[in-house]
């Protein structure tokens, strides 16, 4: 509350009121008792006396830009753990993919700063790439540079101490300020377990790359079935709540097929390319001729047969000269013959340095979230195909590989059902 006195504003802090959950008055006594099957699984947790230590994480690239992508963040932290394991006393981490990591017990010191070198796969690995300098007779030197290092600076600083025993206190009916924080750490441990399996993580849900989990919604969009998980405190002890979950992803496969389906046309000549450019931006593809992954930033202005880029041609030890060559001619020189050179190229480079990839040589990678609005028909299809009978739903939840045992952070928890 703020009050103005004599031209100055004084701030009065309200007294902090400690709130506790209302205690149950007892169990029901009227009516007929029944046995109810629920999707809560009893958890047997070892190491209950352990203490989580929370650390804040900052990741910056070599140009001092903050790295915010969750995927690259996990890769950088994994690499840091491999490189500096001795400095970190060999401790394992639970990392939330963003700005927090947790250990059991403290690290040797409260603050660290590490330089992490990542081997970044370059598009030059297979004979260069249109839009970049292409190799001449010096291909062997070029191959040695197929993995270009990228440098990151990781900062770690102590933030908080979270005793796991706080969960046990709540289960015994006592109050604890850290119980929810401890449960959140356990949730993060499970999320990291699924991230290492290559699952797509969406908040507390995870989705695996299994074609049996996909439901075609038409338009190049698929529904992907997965599972939602969260730890809960109950009157019978700690439990893991599991339920089915669904998210929308871009249907994996050839980019050309995706565009035909997305725009509901049969011939590639009928594709609306401005619309396709908007749809494809920021999606990731894998090139079929070299298995490299790229992010799409746009489309070329011309088709492959007419889109040119400067290529430096070397002759012996001399520097050679720079000539303009079309994308089609370039790939033909590498024994890659295009069937649809009249199609535009995907631009998978940077805004000021294009890198052209023929659209027919690109496949959508799996588990890419589709975040645009669904049509009414797609929503109807999603509801119909996501509906499951109770016995099928129970089988999916109980059969998941997660429901065995998890060992991480020097903790073990076993799920009983």
Q: What is the pLDDT of residues 176-188, one digit of tens each?
A: 777 888 888 888 8
b/e code 328-359 from CB counts within 10 Å (16+ = b): bebbeeeebebeebebbbbbbbeeeebbbbbb
What's the rounded mean pLDDT across residues 368-391?
A: 87
- What is the Cα–Cα distance from 324 to 316, expressed in whole angstroms? 20
- What is the Cα–Cα distance from 65 to 337, expressed in whole angstroms? 40
- What is the Cα–Cα distance from 326 to 222, expressed in whole angstroms? 36
Report CA-CA distances (Å) from 272 to 257, 276, 300.
Answer: 14, 6, 14
Q: What's the pLDDT tens digit per position in 71-98?
A: 788 888 889 988 998 898 888 888 888 8
What is the pLDDT, as a whole number, of residue 138? Answer: 37
Provide the token pair at 165: 């025993």
- What is the Cα–Cα distance from 251 to 264, expressed in whole angstroms? 14
Q: In this model, does residue 378 exceed pLDDT 70?
A: yes
What is the pLDDT, as a whole number, of residue 141? Answer: 38
- What one-character DSSP code corresponds to residue 357? E
How many Cβ atoms are within 10 Å of 147's Cβ, its own excluded?
14
Which of these, 207, 213, 251, 212, lies nearest to 229 by C-alpha position? Answer: 207
Residue 9 vs residue 398, higher pLDDT: 398
The helix (H) or strand (E) run that includes residue 333 is: helix 327-333
Q: What's the pLDDT tens digit per position in 94-123?
A: 888 888 999 888 999 999 999 988 875 444
Q: In this model, does residue 136 exceed pLDDT 50?
A: no
**CATH classification for the domain delimited by 253-364, as one of 2.120.10.10, 2.30.42.10, 3.40.630.30, 2.170.260.10:** 2.170.260.10
Q: In this model, does residue 55 exceed pLDDT 90?
A: yes
Q: What are the E-state strand segments in 35-146?
A: 40-45, 51-61, 94-95, 100-104, 111-121
Q: What's the pLDDT tens digit per position in 217-275?
A: 889 999 998 888 888 888 788 888 888 888 999 999 999 999 999 999 999 889 999 99
- What is the Cα–Cα distance from 362 to 338, expressed in whole angstroms? 12
Are 357 and 126 a contacting pair, CB within 8 Å? no
Are 176 and 185 a contacting pair, CB within 8 Å? no
- What is the Cα–Cα distance from 121 to 149, expressed in whole angstroms? 8
Residue 7 CB-half CA count within 13 A: 0
What is the pLDDT, as a whole number, of residue 142? Answer: 35
Q: In this model, does residue 140 exceed pLDDT 50?
A: no
Which of these, 322, 296, 353, 316, lies nearest to 131 by C-alpha position? Answer: 353
Length of the chain in terms of residues written: 417
What's the rounded mean pLDDT across residues 379-407?
A: 75
Q: In this model, does residue 324 exceed pLDDT 70?
A: yes
Would you place residue 124 in the very low, low, confident or very high pLDDT band (cuts 50, 70, 90)? very low
List CB contacts of 299: < 8 A, sequence separation 6 or more. 273, 276, 277, 280, 344, 345, 346, 347
Would you place residue 148 in the very low, low, confident or very high pLDDT band (cuts 50, 70, 90)? very low
Would you place residue 389 in the very low, low, confident or very high pLDDT band (cuts 50, 70, 90)? confident
Which of these, 207, 213, 178, 179, lies nearest to 194 by C-alpha position? Answer: 207
All structural domains of the chain with their residue ranges? 51-251+379-416, 253-364
Would you place residue 56 in the very low, low, confident or very high pLDDT band (cuts 50, 70, 90)? very high
List CB contacts of 294: < 8 A, sequence separation 6 or more. 123, 284, 285, 286, 287, 346, 348, 355, 357, 362
The helix (H) or strand (E) run that includes residue 71 is: helix 70-83
- In this prediction, what percent of the chain has a pLDDT beyond 70? 79
b/e code 106-138 from CB counts within 10 Å (16+ = b): ebeeeebebebebeeebbbbbbbbbbbebbeee
């Amino acid at each position: 509350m703020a009050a103005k006195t004599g031209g100055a504003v004084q701030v009065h802090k309200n007294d902090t009121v400690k709130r506790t959950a209302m205690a149950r008055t007892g169990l029901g006594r009227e009516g007929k008792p029944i046995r109810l099957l629920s999707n809560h699984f009893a958890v047997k947790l070892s190491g209950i006396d352990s203490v989580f230590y929370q650390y804040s994480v900052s990741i910056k690239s070599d140009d001092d830009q903050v790295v915010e992508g969750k995927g690259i963040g996990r890769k950088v932290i994994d690499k840091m753990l491999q490189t500096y394991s001795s400095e970190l006393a060999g401790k394992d981490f639970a990392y939330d993919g963003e700005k927090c990591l947790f250990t059991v017990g403290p690290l040797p010191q409260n603050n660290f700063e590490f330089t992490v070198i990542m081997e970044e796969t370059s598009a030059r690995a297979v004979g260069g790439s249109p839009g970049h300098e292409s190799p001449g007779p010096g291909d062997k030197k070029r191959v040695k540079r197929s993995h270009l290092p990228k440098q990151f600076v990781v900062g770690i600083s102590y933030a908080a101490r979270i005793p796991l025993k706080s969960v046990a206190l709540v289960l015994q009916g006592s109050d604890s300020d850290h119980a929810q924080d401890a449960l959140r750490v356990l949730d993060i441990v499970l999320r990291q377990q699924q991230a290492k399996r290559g699952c797509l993580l969406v908040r507390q849900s995870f989705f695996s790359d299994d074609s049996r989990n996909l439901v075609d919604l038409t338009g190049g969009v698929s529904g992907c079935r997965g599972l939602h998980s969260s730890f809960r405190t109950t009157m019978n002890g700690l439990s893991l709540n599991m339920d089915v979950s669904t998210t929308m992803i871009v249907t994996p496969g050839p980019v050309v097929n995706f565009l035909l389906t997305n725009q509901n046309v049969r011939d590639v000549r009928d594709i609306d390319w401005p619309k396709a450019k908007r749809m494809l931006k920021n999606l990731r593809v894998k090139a079929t001729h070299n298995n490299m992954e790229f992010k799409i930033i746009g489309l070329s202005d011309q088709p492959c047969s007419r889109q040119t880029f400067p290529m430096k041609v070397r002759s012996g030890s001399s520097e050679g000269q720079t000539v303009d060559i079309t994308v089609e001619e370039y790939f033909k020189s590498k024994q890659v013959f295009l069937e649809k050179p009249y199609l535009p190229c995907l631009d998978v480079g940077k805004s000021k340095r294009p890198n052209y990839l023929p659209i027919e040589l690109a496949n959508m990678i799996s588990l890419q979230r589709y975040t645009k609005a669904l049509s009414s028909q797609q929503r109807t299809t999603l509801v119909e195909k996501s509906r499951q009978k109770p016995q099928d739903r129970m089988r999916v939840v109980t059969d998941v590989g997660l429901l065995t045992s998890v060992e991480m952070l020097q903790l073990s928890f076993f799920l009983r059902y």
